[in-house]
Amino acid sequence: MANAQPPAGGPRGPRPGRSPLQALIYWTLVLGVWALIFVVAFFAVFSVDLPDTSKLYDVKRQPSISYLDRSGGLVAVRGSQYAPPVDLNKLPPYVPKAFVAIEDRWFYWHFGFNPWGIVRSQAYNWTHKRGGPLRGGSTITQQLARALFLTPNQTYRRKAQELILAVWLEAKFSKKQILELYLNREYFGEGAYGIEAASQRYFNKPAAELTLGESALLAGLMKGPSRYSPVAATDRAARRATIVLDEMVRIHAITPQQRDEALKAPVRVNPVLANQRAQYFTDWVDDQVRHLVGEPTEDLVVETTLDLPLQASAEQTIQTDVVAAKPQGVQQAALVSLDGEGRVRAYVGGVNYLQSQFDRATQARRQAGSSFKPFVYLTAIEAGQTPDTPVVDEPITIGTWTPRNYTGKYLGPITLEIGLKESINTVAARLANEVGTSNVAATAHRLGIVSPIQLDPSMALGAVEVSPLEMAQAYAPFSNGGVFAKAYAIERIRTASGRMLFDHSMGNDQRRAVIGQPALSYMIRMLRQVIASGTGTRANVKGYDLAGKTGTTSDYRDAWFMGYTGGFVTAVWVGRDDNTPMKKVTGGGIPAGIWHDYMVQVLPRLKTELIPGAEAPPTEETSSDAISQIISGVNDLLHGDHEADSAPPKPASRPSAQIRPSQEEAPH
């Protein structure tokens, strides 16, 4: 049979395949259509709430505040610093090249974003999710868009809007204009916005005079102004600047010889920034400025009471002595100096501000230990006792509390003067019990303690949490003739144009007599003996009229030395931020040593005088034989560092964390 033929109009044979060229054209069109749809949808979704770009050239300037010391020296500048924008053509050619080399070497070739850079950064982030910082892949144009219009929040929506705005910037401005905007608007750390302000802030020179090394250092800041700050992280900033120079060689922006010459030339940071003096003090005063005059709307100048030479001595002494005391478990320290008027002359809130901004001079509350005892003795003297009043150092129980002395020994019949000089616990506890702890608290508050004071019997031995600033304030009346002197740091606040906003001398005078006679004379006499031959001998500086008191708390958690001369008082505290014990550090040891090392430097600078309110201190030649014999007998009974007035408490009797009895208390 003949093969049947397919009917007319029936199914046809297979369609011939597309040629490779036809397939390429077809799929290109398909992908192009879908890409167009995606781009339109992308812009439609993420352009809904784009920020207003009409204010491109508006600068939201935060006024700066310049802090001066008592002699007019610059202490610090806070707030944002802006400067007039610089013309790119007026900068050395290597300045913009440094930023392009390290931030966006394809800057002159892309159209706002670098697809390959985005893919590469995302691939890196996906493979390094658990370690190290993530990479962003943003171009200079994207960074500018973020700085001008967006927040730094790391969200996909923000990144998408950043990309859209970057394309808009590329369409509206030339590459030169974009780079110029970038250099004039980016944040460089230390409150500086723009390269001109950064050059002035870091190097005290205009941007037109930047060296190659300085340019590389500023370009390196873009990765993280705080992390790569030449002030806070000198070594890290130097390494980053070296990377910038290497990248500049790589893209042929400079020659290897220019790089080597730049590496040999030292980069010196503005001394005001490099020294970082009085940062704790500036933080403390900064809050007060806003309380006094509100948020500034124009540049301000704040004249403070600080004495920069004294401040430098205080900071250096704290750093040196605490480092030396680290084997003994000392971690932190604070120091505050006041003059007789209450002016803060030196203020150190910690060992290293760059490592910890927590201010231990005012923000920390630590137990005062035996440095609180002068308030007990003053209350007793005001009740009629004298330094020569006989007392008995013997075991005593008040309620269920039995304080004991460090040595475990008791001296028997002594005088009040010896009791304070040697920081005898039983005597202080007995006195507070006799005069009433509420009266002791009232005395402390009258002199300048502002923290709450608990009225348990252990308060007599310093189970009271206070700050170094208020302790210095409370000791000031002992140094200035018995007058209350509220600590203050701001003399005047004025605008940069000269308009006065605040003047301390125009305020209410809070000075008033808080210690009368003969109580003041008696207290000075006894506190002189603490330094002359008692627990604070390590603080003694020959040739000056000095008085003071040591203090140590339970388990050696806190150690203090409070000392003064005529019209000048300094409080020193050492301890650990985690409130763990040090290794038998007492107030008569490291704190007294810090006080001594600091005062040796500052006493010659002060117009020192005899402590007012008492007779001149006796010299060694005029000391009576009787007093010498008593001191000799007491010293025979005591041994080691006299400030360690009691043994640590037994674990079973350890008090709560809220109220720790002093080391001088040490209950059984």
DSSP 8-state assignment for residue 578: T
DSSP 8-state assignment for residue 221: G
Confidence of residue 637 (pLDDT cuts 50, 70, 90): very low
Cα Rg of the chain, angstroms: 35
pLDDT in tens, 162-172: 777 888 888 88
Give the pLDDT confidence score for residue 85 in this predicted structure.
Answer: 84
pLDDT in tens, 365-398: 999 999 999 999 999 999 999 999 999 999 999 9
- Tell me how far apart the alpha carbons of residues 666 and 649 are, in angstroms, rounded to a whole number: 5
- Tell me how far apart the alpha carbons of residues 404 and 407 are, in angstroms, rounded to a whole number: 9
> Angle at Cα 419 formed by Cα 370 and Cα 430, nearest 5°?
80
pLDDT in tens, 485-518: 999 999 999 998 899 999 998 876 778 999 999 9
Q: Hey, which bits of 305-351 come out as E strands?
A: 332-339, 344-348
- Provide the sign of the torsion angle of the four alpha carbons 654, 331, 472, 489, taken in this order: negative
Structure token digits, residue 356: 């910890």
More confident residue, 272 or 179: 179
- Tell me how far apart the alpha carbons of residues 63 and 662 are, in angstroms, rounded to a whole number: 47
Cβ neighbours of residue 538 under 8 Å, at least 6 residues apart? 588, 589, 592, 593, 596
- Tell me how far apart the alpha carbons of residues 224 and 202 are, in angstroms, rounded to a whole number: 15
> Angle at Cα 619 formed by Cα 618 and Cα 625, nearest 5°?
80
Q: Is 533 a catalytic residue?
A: no
Does residue 451 contact residue 465 with C-beta atoms inside 8 Å? yes
361-363-367-368 Cα dihedral, nearest 10 degrees = 30
Give the pLDDT confidence score for residue 36 in this predicted structure.
Answer: 59
- Tell me how far apart the alpha carbons of residues 343 and 644 are, in angstroms, rounded to a whole number: 32
Confidence of residue 270 (pLDDT cuts 50, 70, 90): confident
- Provide the sign of the torsion angle of the four alpha carbons 549, 534, 339, 575, taken in this order: negative
Structure token digits, residue 499: 């308009």
Mean pLDDT of 628-639: 40
Does residue 435 contact residue 385 with C-beta atoms inside 8 Å? no
Does residue 328 contact residue 585 with C-beta atoms inside 8 Å? yes
Provide the 10 A C-beta neighbour count for residue 58: 9
Residue 143: beta bridge partners? none
Does residue 503 contact residue 490 with C-beta atoms inside 8 Å? no
Where helices occur in 422-503 by DSSP H, the ranges are 425-435, 437-447, 468-479
Q: Mean pLDDT, the chain, as a whole number?
A: 83
Where helices occur in 326-415 by DSSP H, the ranges are 373-382
Closest C-alpha among 420, 416, 413 to residue 392: 413
For strand 65-68 and strand 300-304, is the pairing parallel, antiparallel, or unpaired?
parallel
Give the pLDDT confidence score for residue 117 in this predicted structure.
Answer: 63
- Tell me how far apart the alpha carbons of residues 426 and 433 are, in angstroms, rounded to a whole number: 11
pLDDT in tens, 52-62: 556 566 655 66
Confidence of residue 591 (pLDDT cuts 50, 70, 90): very high
- Tell me how far apart the alpha carbons of residues 36 and 188 are, in angstroms, rounded to a whole number: 39
- From the number of C-beta atoms within 10 Å of its C-beta (0-12, 13-18, 19+), residue 518 rates as middle
pTM of the complete model beyond 0.75: no
Give the pLDDT confidence score for residue 640 in this predicted structure.
Answer: 35
- Tell me how far apart the alpha carbons of residues 234 and 666 are, in angstroms, rounded to a whole number: 46
Give the pLDDT confidence score for residue 124 in this predicted structure.
Answer: 56
Residue 75 backbone dihedrals phi, psi, to 5 degrees? -90, -50
> Angle at Cα 562 formed by Cα 557 and Cα 567, nearest 5°?
160
Compute the residue count for the chain. Answer: 668
Does residue 169 contact residue 185 with C-beta atoms inside 8 Å? no
Q: CA–CA distance from 585 to each of 254, 478, 565 (Å)? A: 57, 26, 25
More confident residue, 214 or 511: 214
Give the pLDDT confidence score for residue 456 in this predicted structure.
Answer: 95
Q: Is the pLDDT of residue 81 over 70?
A: no
- Tell me how far apart the alpha carbons of residues 653 and 647 are, in angstroms, rounded to a whole number: 13
Q: Which SS3 state, helix, strand or coil, does residue 545 take?
A: coil
Confidence of residue 623 (pLDDT cuts 50, 70, 90): very low
Residue with tokens 């080391």: 663
> Angle at Cα 586 formed by Cα 583 and Cα 587, nearest 5°?
150
- Tell me how far apart the alpha carbons of residues 273 and 259 are, in angstroms, rounded to a whole number: 26
Q: Which residue is catalytic, options 64, 103, 170, 423?
A: 103
Q: Which residue is catalytic, options 64, 199, 229, 370?
A: 370
- Tell me how far apart the alpha carbons of residues 69 and 278 are, in angstroms, rounded to a whole number: 10
Q: Is 370 a catalytic residue?
A: yes
Give the pLDDT confidence score for residue 272 in this predicted structure.
Answer: 65
For strand 465-466 and strand 568-575, is the pairing parallel, antiparallel, or unpaired?
unpaired
Percentage, residues of the chain above pLDDT 90 = 56
Residue 548: beta bridge partners? 563
